[in-house]
Amino acid sequence: MLLSSVTMTAQDDEQVALQDSTLESMPSFSGGQTALSQFLKDNVKYPPAAEANGVQGTVQVLFYVETDGTLRDVKVIKSVDPSLDKEAIRLVKSMPKWIPGKEKNGKLVVLPYVLPITFKLSNSK
């Protein structure tokens, strides 16, 4: 039986952005990285054609986190396959509200976020 999985990794640019003296925090998924990984695992629908053809890889999705936590302008910035790209966008658009970014003065700000979503197939009995 062929099993599929999806994972994500922390945003590489997060540390760079936090070095900006005006930012206190970057946007984050409620519950943190562990909750985000669980959300992706629980909600992914690996495209049957991609699974049948052994297509896998990391799709990078860019979106903006609004001050109310909603996500907008979701788009793929690093493609793997149209079916995986479509699924990555669907996953992000189905997410609950995020915790918005914040400046050091406490003001909430709209910030971009790049989420790498890795689609991986594994053989298992």
Q: Which residue has the tokens 């900006």?
A: 20
Does domain 2-123 bear CATH number 3.40.228.10? no
Q: What is the mean pLDDT of residues 7-20?
A: 49
DSSP 96-109: PPPBPEEETTS-EE
On whether the pTM is more than 0.85, the answer is no
User: How is the chain split into domains, by residue range?
Assistant: 2-123
Tell whether the model's pLDDT for residue 125 goes beyond 90. Answer: no
Amino acid 22: pLDDT: 81
What are the structure tokens assigned to 62, written together? Answer: 């860019």
Amino acid 6: pLDDT: 52
Residues 6+ positions from 52 with CB-CB distance below 8 Å:
none
Q: What is the pLDDT of residues 51-105, one digit of tens each?
A: 999 999 999 999 999 999 999 999 999 999 999 999 999 999 999 999 999 998 8
Beta-sheet strands, E only, within 29-84:
57-65, 71-78
Q: How far is CA 18 from CA 12, 25, 115, 124, in A?
A: 11, 7, 17, 41
